[in-house]
Chain A
Amino acid sequence: MEFIKKNITLIVGISIPILMIVFVAASIYLPGLFIKPNVNFLYAYGDEYYSQERFTVQNGKLVKREVPRYESQSYYQPPREESKLFLHDVVKNESREVSFEEAQRLNLDSGTKSSDGFEVINGYQGGGFFPFFGGSGSDYNTRYLKGHNVSKKINLQQRGESYYYDFRFLGWIK
C-alpha cells in the first residue's frame, strides 16, 4: 500500500497504455462473441477485366452476359480468363465453388448490407507506425464482414495476390 501511494504517478503512467491495449482488445474481440453474421453470400472471383463473362443480379436472380472479344490485329489480345462463382458460408467461414446453373437457382439480394446488418468490405492496409509517410489504403487481399462494431476476416477462395477487379460481391442469399 505504501509502495502504491509513493509511486502512484509511475503506476498510473504505466497502466494507461496497458488499459488502452485491454480496451482495444475488448472492443475488437468482445462484440464478435455475441454478434454473429448468419446470411451467406455469393461472389465471383477472377479478373473481371480479362474475363469472358460478366455477372449481374437482375430481379433477384444471377444473370450472365458474354463479353464479345475485341477483334483487332494491331492490339495485344490478353488471354481470356474464366471467373468462378463461390458461395460463402458465413457461419463456417468457408467458400464453396458453385456452377452458374446452381447459382442461378438462388434468390439474391444485391444490396450492400445484408438483412442482419453486415456488409463485405476491403481490408485496410495501414501506413505502418507512421501513417504520414503514406502507404495506407485498401488491402484487396483481405475482405471483412463488418457490422454492429464486429469485423470478421473472410476466408476467400483466391489465388496469390488479389487486385481490385478480382473479387466481386454479387448478393446475399435470401
Chain B
Amino acid sequence: MATKEEVLEYIKKIAENKVLTKEEVDAAFESGSGITTDVVLKKKIGIAEILYYIGGAVVFLGIAILLAQNWSLLGFGTKVLATLGSGIAAYVVGVLFSRDERTEAAGSAFYLISAMVMPIGIWIVFDYAGFDANSYSSHTLISLILLIAYSLSYYVFRKNIFTFFSIIFGTWLFFSLTSMMVDSGSYFDDWKFYEYRVLVVSIAYMLLGNAFSKNERAPLQGFFYGFGIFGFLSTALALGGWSPEQNIFWELIYPGLVFGALFLSVQIKSKPFLVWGTIFLMAYILKITSEYFSSGMGWPLSLVLAGLAMIGVGYMSFSIKKKFLSA
C-alpha cells in the first residue's frame, strides 16, 4: 500500500502529463469515500429554462385560480387532489424527467410546480383537520414538513433546486417560528422585530451566496447575493427611521454599510452588490438631504446638491463596474 505522500506525488505527475482531469479525480475520490456528487446544472439559466419556470408558475396560477373561483363548490377530496395530488404528481414527473439529460431542465419546472402547490395542499389538510390553518403554529408545522421533505430530496437527488427550496422553506419556518414564539405578547415592537428578522435572513442569504460561489451550487449565488444585499440595505435604511424618531446608530453606520457593499462588490465580483449598493447610496443621500437639510437650506437647493451627489455616485458605480466587474 502506497503512502499518502506517494499517492499525492503520483496524482501530481499524472496531472502534469494531463492523463486525468480534476473532475475525474474528484469523481474517483467521491465514489470511494461514499460521498455522492451533486448532480447539478452547472450551466447558467438560459431562455429555455426561464420559459420552463414561467410555464411552471402559470400552471400554479391556474390551480390557484381554479381553487379560488370554486372554493365553496369543491369538496375536500377534490381540493386535496387538485393541490397536494398535483404537487406530488409534479414531483414524480420532475424525478422522471431529471433522469434524462435532455429533459432535466423541464424536470426542474415540475419541481417548481410541486413546491408551489404542495404548501396549499398541506394547508387544506390542516384546515380540514380542524387546525387554525392561518395560525403561526400551523405555518410553522407546514414549513417544517416542507423543509424536511425538500432537504431529504436534496440528500437523495443532490440537486440545486432542492437546496433552493430548502432555504426558502427554512426562511418561512424562521419567520413563522419566531412569530409563534412572540404570539400576541407585545414583547417587541412589531415593526422593529420584523425588520431585525429580515436583517438576519439577509445576512444569512449573503453568507450562503458566498458559500455557494465556491462550489457546484454557484448558479444559486446570484439569487442569494441579490436578495441578501437588497434586504440588508433596505432594512438597515428603514431601521434608521425618520427625524424626530430616527435611530442615530443606524443613520450613522449606514454610509459604512453601503460603502462596505460597494467594496465587497469588487472583492467578490458581484454585480448585485454594486447595483444595490449604488441605489441605496442614492436613497440614503435623498433621505438625509430631505430629513436634515430641506428646512435649513431650502428644498430646491437640497435637491440640487442631492442630484449632484447622485451623479457622482452613478459615475463611481460605472467606473467600478468597468474596471473590476466587466468580464
Contact = CB atoms under 8 A, between A and B. Distances in A.
Interface residues of B, number: 31
Majority-rule SS of A interface residues: mixed
Contact of A126 (B170, B177, B190): B190
Nearest to A141: B184
Given A9-B210, A10-B208, A28-B181, A124 B200 contact: no
Contacts of A21: 174, 177-178, 181
A17 B200 contact: yes
Contacts of B196: 20
A123 interface: yes
B271 interface: no
Interface extent on A, as a size class?
20 to 34
B207 A146 contact: no
A10 B207 contact: yes
A68 interface: no
Contact of A129 (B176, B186, B204): B176
A21 B210 CA distance: 23
Nearest to A14: B204
Contacts of B197: 20
B175 A129 contact: yes
Nearest to A7: B211
Nearest to B171: A17
Most buried by B among A10, A17, A125: A17
B191 interface: yes
Interface of B: 139, 170-171, 174-179, 181-187, 190-191, 194, 196-197, 200-201, 203-208, 210-211
12 contacts: A9-B210, A9-B211, A12-B207, A13-B211, A17-B174, A28-B182, A123-B183, A124-B186, A126-B179, A128-B179, A131-B194, A153-B183
Interface of A: 7, 9-10, 12-14, 16-17, 20-21, 24-25, 27-28, 121-129, 131, 136, 139, 142, 144, 146, 149, 151, 153
